[in-house]
Amino acid sequence: MKESAKIKEVVIVEGRDDTTAIKRAVNADTIETNGSAVPKMVLEKIRHAHEKRGVIVLTDPDYPGQRIRQIVQEYVPGCMHAFINREDALRKHGRGIGVEHASPEVIREALKHAHTMAEEPQEIISKEELIEAGLIGGPKAKARRELLGARLNIGYSNGKQLYNRLVQFEISREEFIREMSRILQEEQHD
């Protein structure tokens, strides 16, 4: 097997098992937060890595993973973020969700589509448009948000988080409309 090129950025993960999964997928260095109460020493290490090489935050698609993202983003603005969908992060047998359960292909794809959050985000899509698109409230809202998050590579989120991610990752109106049109067309064919 040909050895893959080294990823320049340092990948921020939650723990040792995540590091193992990353190293199975790509040639990259990692920094482990060791839980959602990220110590200042680890945040300083992340800041230093960001200044020298850049960082990509890849945390579990759950509440603690989102909390780590927010802590890192507040302390080190300008980080890149990669997302894995919940279904791709589920343990194959038994319970559990995390980066460590994702396949190498899923991890490579997530890292390939990493985004940087806008430092001063501009509203591109309004909350009213999200309601009109059936992404907030209604029987199909959750499923639509899951599909939209996966297609835009911004991960699953509730309605409020979806709005914030669309703005922070500067998803264009055109991208939003294109993907929502596809989702609605697929719903009609199901």
Report pLDDT digits (tens) over 15-34. 999 999 999 999 999 999 99
- Residue spans per domain, the chain: 1-117, 120-190
Instruction: Name the pTM for this structure.
Output: 0.75
Strand order in the sheet with 115-116: 30-32, 10-13, 55-57, 80-81, 115-116
Q: What percent of the chain has pLDDT over 90?
A: 58
Cα 178 to Cα 95: distance, rounded to the nearest angstrom = 35
Q: Bridge-partner residues for 57, per DSSP?
A: 12, 81
- Residues 52-101 have pLDDT tens digits of 999 999 999 998 998 999 999 999 999 999 999 888 888 877 788 899 99
- Picking from 97, 13, 92, the residue whose alpha carbon sits closest to that of residue 57 is 13
Distance of CA 112 to the CA centre of its chain: 12
Backbone torsions φ then ψ of 11, nearest 5 degrees: -95, 125
Q: Which CATH class is domain 1-117?
A: alpha beta
